[in-house]
Structure 1
Amino acid sequence: MTRLGPIHRRRLLGGMSALGGAGALNALLPGWAQSGTPGRPADLPTVSGPDIALSVGHTAFKVDGRAAHAVSVNGTVPGPLVRLTEGQTARISVTNALQEDTSIHWHGLLVPFQMDGVPGVSFPGIKPGETFTYEFKVRQAGTYWYHSHSGLQEQLGHYGPIVIEPAAADPVAFDREHVVMLSDYSFMHPHEIFRKMKAQSGYFNRQKQTVAGLLAGKDQSFVERKEWSAMRMDPTDILDVTGATYAYLVNGHGPQDNWTGLFEPGERVRLRIINAGAMTIFNVRIPGLKLSVVQADGQNVRPVEVEEFQISPAETYDVIVQPQDRAYTLVAEAADRSGTGRATLAPRAGMTAEVPPLRERPLLNMRDMGVDHSAMTGMEGMAMDHSAMSMRDPRNAPQVTLGPGVQMISPMPADRTGDPGQGLENVGHKVLVYTDLVALEPNPDPRPPSREMEIHLTGNMERFMWAFDGVGFSHLKDPIPFRLDERVRVTLVNDSMMAHPIHLHGHFFEVVTGNPGRHPRKHTVNVLPGGRVAFDLTASDPGDWAFHCHLLYHMHAGMFNVVTIRPLEGAGA
């Protein structure tokens, strides 16, 4: 059952007679249900209990008044909020009402690999007209989500949130909560989006540098442009799919629809923020409010106060805010600043706040190319011969298979876990970085890694080819092997000039951030361009697990592999 905060308890003890009929009903609703936008259906219908039924089908809906089509769960976008309790056994029956196969992956949940929901890896998928029942014991608490792992259905609306109540007392104190699910939607079919990027990778980039920008001094100098042109790279290429085709949604609402979350002044409001975007990295802020980050990827962290954070597809952050008697705008700005998702937090329905304009779009720099400025001291003002940097020298990454899919090898990749994200370096306020995250509880496995491995994130942006170590999934011969319960340090090296949020199914890993023993535990980590991220993994759950970039079209284009953990029961050593 959803907890009632102190204010709600006082209401109940104070007697219901002081409330009108509708007001009494609203007061009895849990915090996440006390929200809505006039003229819109109720937000985030909820399913819970030991037996849950979900149906995947086609649905007509509207985005800012424009008719749209979705692949939805139980007829809504997002799908219903699935509320579970740590320790329970969940039985979730999923019926496929489509004319094609479908699936549901329980993102971030620790489940037997047969219940993980990845067709061709952990189960066959769900055929049209058939029902598959997922059954697993709930082993954790926190904020998670679910989505299709079949084709490009996720882009069409096949996703929804999960909230798991802790079995013990929640260390996070709050009076009310709202799930805030960010996503991107295009009226263009996802296969057409993919086809256009394969034909012209920058098809959706409408923010390229211009002569006017050069004359105004806003963009790169002529010399810099010439150097980047020689490398066939575009410094404005931040996101592949942009606001040129995307509408940015909050709980299925476009900016004009303006989803509204209600609160009472003085409450501690918990916002469970989930990035369900197919291709969009969002920068999230609420002008006028501090954000106290208390959870990352469903795992509790020591509270850290910020004014903005970057959230990649598949990540979740829980924040506490304490709003006063006024309306606030929740801003979810695309990282390339080509568009914004917008919602409102308000004490009363119908209130709005100013929506800030888009900020100036960022440009890629040498650090994004894997060139560490600290290693180039004294070279200022010198013309650089980028062709002499041996960007594809196999000595820089001997395990990478070179070919047309490898455009470059970062010559000096740096640890960028202390960086705030592209375009957020000089915003003038505190922005969350990975090194701010400290686990609330000690890491469960204190053993040092027994071995290390390095995995390169490679690509060719011109051809829209993406892979691990230069080999796309369609050409892979071997999965990535681990022994059961071994402890491994994995270093991800981004040899491309685009960020890649990398997700491992069925496990949490500890991002190495300089807080030994309390490194943040995550299931998805964003590796910035030209950067490197190390994480420690305990291979605790046997089976076959998907490992991939969570930018949907990057995964679709080949940045996908399978992690095998052996031995399985009965399979021998």
Structure 2
Amino acid sequence: MTRPTRRRFLRDATLGGGALALPWLPAWAQPVSAGLATPLQTVSGTDIALTVAHRMMTIDGKPSHAIGINGTVPGPLIRLKQGQNVRLAVTNTLDEDTSIHWHGLLLPFQMDGVPGISFPGIPARTTFTYDFPVIQAGTYWYHSHSGLQEQMGHYGPIVIDPEGADPVQADREHVIVLSDHSPLHPHAIFRRLKLQGGYFNYQKQTFAGLLAGRDQPLKERLMWGGMRMDPTDVSDVTGATYSYLVNGHGPADNWTALFAPGERVRLRIVNASAMTNFNVRIPGLTLTVVQADGQNVKPVAVDELQIAVAETYDVLVGPATPQAYTLVAEAWDRSGMARATLAPRPGMVAPVPALRTRPLATMKDMGMGAMAGMSGVDHAAPAACPPEHAAMGHCTPAGDTGMAGMKHGMRDFANAPELPKTPVVQTVAPMPVDRTGEPPQGLADAGHRVLVYRDLVALDRNPDLRAPSRQLRIHLTGNMERYMWAFDGVKLNAVVAPIPFRQGERVRVTLVNDTMMAHPIHLHGHFFELVTGHGDHAPRKHTINVAPGGTATFDLTADAPGDWAFHCHLLYHMHAGMMQVVTVRPDGEAGAGA
């Protein structure tokens, strides 16, 4: 006779689609895993062992090489409690250095896990123990900061339960880790991008698309060609090589999460992909956003949201009927999707919507936001159009007409004299505008409610209400033709000095995106408040996706002394140079801010 165990009892309690509740367990520990394609392995406690190793994984029936943690991709769910201390012993079985960065966690900088900045890394066949207090609650994740290992599966989710009552009440929850995976080695992907920036873009405009009316009219195409830009260039790495995953499973695997009709189900969504922003929706269900980047927000009901690389969103759904629902995570360029199912019992499926038409870049995406929507504007100009006016988009140099003339303005430095004239500054946005109140690229005509950053309002009052004592403006720059990316035109390997802050100072930072691609920008060791008009309840985040040709502004309290990474979280952009170091020092110490 098999000896009964707690694990077996929990499993048996939910087989057959039942929704047996066990009142002595908290909501997150209720039995929810029965019938899932593969439940996430979970580790918890004060001493946790993690092993990084090569492994094979199967995606939609096809084997693929990966790097996993404790034998799984994603790595195990690390479940912690606010107020505890944790020791995480990471053993590296690879033949190269590795590391783990605890994305979004506030901790001593020596434990942040970025080789060359906060610690040396974890050499091959050694163990390093991270030891830090857990001072926050929410949904976070972890990943390698060594080479391009993150792309190969070296990532996993973190959930930290609050010390007191959780303001988000749910009957059960599921962790949803979104990612992208390619059979190509990440260095092979990077080599192809260096050879041709649009190597993986298989959705370019065609003559057939022109005839069918799906693509831009010929006149607009000629304008884009004159500017040597491609309006279909939304994502560098696409479904041409990627499979899009939910908890390590491809669309055909149909990873399934169970619910009972009438329950409030919390979905903790993590974007652990290397290069893919996902548009997430569940046809037939409203998504009530209750947390962003681990921070509680006032509930906001939407039909769809875009989750940028490295962001997390917690949403509540309330399926009332015993039917299946499809969770759709469509790649931002519509070249593929991750897919899962919410169902009251295993084996159920719901219709999977077709991929929508891929987005095309617009005038705003070129940094001409102040001109967007202006009708009847005469772009013709007299022969004596001053160069500085052309750079601002107010007129067109002689011999050019229409948008084609903007090729001069987009490549002129009159609007950004602080930028060096380097190959990493291919374009400068002539008229960038704050786009945090707009739906993300390609979702303006979705036909339903789409989350925008200005919808987010902090549930609690911000901890620091001081006005900023200084302002900092940082340009996001790039050269798609040579696949070079940087801050202020300077790649990480060419940076002379870090970005300095005085400990405790309050700084307003404005990010200006001079490129035609969105960039999710992440600052380690800190949260910042988005300047979106919500006063002392500004949403607090650790990652902000800056729209192409747009700006985003946040207020930062530099309260964590040490050296911190600051970078675009598109992995190959970071690898190509879009990363710098932020130093936080007490007054009077070398490296303190101005």
Common fold by TM > 0.5: yes
Name the CA distance, whole Å, in 2 between partners of 1:47 and 1:407.
Answer: 46
Q: Determine whether 1:345 maps to 2:326.
A: no
Any conservation in 2 of the 1:37–1:258 contact (CA below 8 Å)?
A: no
1:172 is matched by which residue type in structure 2? V
- The secondary structure found in structure 2 opposite 1:56 is strand
Any conservation in 2 of the 1:455–1:491 contact (CA below 8 Å)?
A: yes
Shift of 1:381: 6.7
What do residues 154-211 of structure 1 show as CA deviations (whole Å, max 9, x unaligned)?
0000000000000011001101000000000000110000000100111100100001
Aligned to 1:370: 367
Shift of 1:218: 1.6
Name the CA distance, whole Å, in 2 between partners of 1:553 and 1:201.
Answer: 11
Aligned to 1:7: none
Name the CA distance, whole Å, in 1 between partners of 2:420 and 2:168.
Answer: 47
Name the CA distance, whole Å, in 2 between partners of 1:111 and 1:384.
Answer: 49
- The secondary structure found in structure 1 opposite 2:50 is strand
Q: Determine whether 1:507 maps to 2:518.
A: no
Name the CA distance, whole Å, in 1 between partners of 2:565 and 2:428.
Answer: 25
Name the CA distance, whole Å, in 1 between partners of 2:13 and 2:225.
Answer: 67
Shift of 1:394: 2.5
Name the CA distance, whole Å, in 1 between partners of 2:371 and 2:34.
Answer: 50
Name the CA distance, whole Å, in 2 between partners of 1:348 and 1:414.
Answer: 48
Any conservation in 1 of the 2:19–2:259 contact (CA below 8 Å)?
A: no
Any conservation in 2 of the 1:543–1:568 contact (CA below 8 Å)?
A: no
Name the CA distance, whole Å, in 2 between partners of 1:83 and 1:569.
Answer: 40
Aligned to 2:477: 458
Q: Which runs of 5+ in 2 are unaligned?
A: 1-5, 380-401
Aligned to 1:4: none
Aligned to 1:5: none
Name the CA distance, whole Å, in 2 between partners of 1:466 and 1:274.
Answer: 25
Any conservation in 1 of the 2:66–2:153 contact (CA below 8 Å)?
A: yes
Aligned with residue 394 of structure 1, among 413, 435, 440? 413
Q: Determine whether 1:239 maps to 2:258.
A: no
Name the CA distance, whole Å, in 2 between partners of 1:68 and 1:25.
Answer: 36
- The secondary structure found in structure 2 opposite 1:123 is coil
- The secondary structure found in structure 1 opposite 2:145 is coil
Aligned to 1:492: 511
Name the CA distance, whole Å, in 2 between partners of 1:101 and 1:110.
Answer: 24
Any conservation in 1 of the 2:176–2:247 contact (CA below 8 Å)?
A: yes
Aligned to 2:103: 107
2:452 is matched by which residue type in structure 1? V
- The secondary structure found in structure 1 opposite 2:334 is coil
Shift of 1:569: 11
Aligned to 1:9: none
1:251 is matched by which residue type in structure 2? N
Q: Determine whether 1:523 maps to 2:545.
A: no
- The secondary structure found in structure 2 opposite 1:54 is strand
Shift of 1:385: 4.2
Name the CA distance, whole Å, in 2 between partners of 1:291 and 1:543.
Answer: 38
Aligned to 1:305: 301
Aligned with residue 469 of structure 1, among 462, 482, 488? 488
Aligned to 1:251: 247
C-alpha change, 1:178 and 1:568, in structure 2 (3 Å) is farther
Any conservation in 1 of the 2:370–2:433 contact (CA below 8 Å)?
A: no
Tell me the TM-score normalised to structure 1 length.
0.94
Q: Which runs of 5+ in 1 are unaligned?
A: 1-11
Aligned to 2:128: 132
Aligned pairs for 1:53-72 (under 5 A) are 53-72=49-68
Superposed CA RMSD in Å reads 2.1
Query: Bigger CA drift: 316-325 or 370-379?
Result: 370-379
Any conservation in 2 of the 1:248–1:341 contact (CA below 8 Å)?
A: yes
What do residues 209-231 of structure 1 show as CA deviations (whole Å, max 9, x unaligned)?
00111112221111111111111
- The secondary structure found in structure 1 opposite 2:535 is coil
Name the CA distance, whole Å, in 1 between partners of 2:57 and 2:253.
Answer: 12
Name the CA distance, whole Å, in 2 between partners of 1:118 and 1:432.
Answer: 32
- The secondary structure found in structure 2 opposite 1:341 is strand
Any conservation in 1 of the 2:14–2:34 contact (CA below 8 Å)?
A: no
Shift of 1:386: 2.6
Shift of 1:35: 2.7
C-alpha change, 1:376 and 1:281, in structure 2 (3 Å) is closer
Q: Determine whether 1:163 maps to 2:182.
A: no
Shift of 1:374: 4.4
Aligned pairs for 1:74-473 (under 5 A) are 74-324=70-320, 325-374=322-371, 377-380=374-377, 382=379, 383-387=402-406, 389-473=408-492
Give the paired residue count: 556
- The secondary structure found in structure 2 opposite 1:239 is coil
Shift of 1:235: 0.2
Name the CA distance, whole Å, in 1 between partners of 2:461 and 2:558.
Answer: 18
C-alpha change, 1:25 and 1:100, in structure 2 (3 Å) is farther
Name the CA distance, whole Å, in 1 between partners of 2:124 and 2:498.
Answer: 29
Shift of 1:32: 7.3
1:62 is matched by which residue type in structure 2? T
1:466 is matched by which residue type in structure 2? W
Name the CA distance, whole Å, in 2 between partners of 1:186 and 1:230.
Answer: 34
Name the CA distance, whole Å, in 1 between partners of 2:183 and 2:230.
Answer: 26
Q: Determine whether 1:540 maps to 2:572.
A: no
Any conservation in 1 of the 2:502–2:587 contact (CA below 8 Å)?
A: no
Name the CA distance, whole Å, in 2 between partners of 1:111 and 1:482.
Answer: 18
Any conservation in 2 of the 1:32–1:178 contact (CA below 8 Å)?
A: no
Name the CA distance, whole Å, in 1 between partners of 2:319 and 2:378.
Answer: 49
C-alpha change, 1:387 and 1:370, in structure 2 (3 Å) is closer
Query: Bigger CA drift: 373-382 or 340-349?
Result: 373-382
1:372 is matched by which residue type in structure 2? G
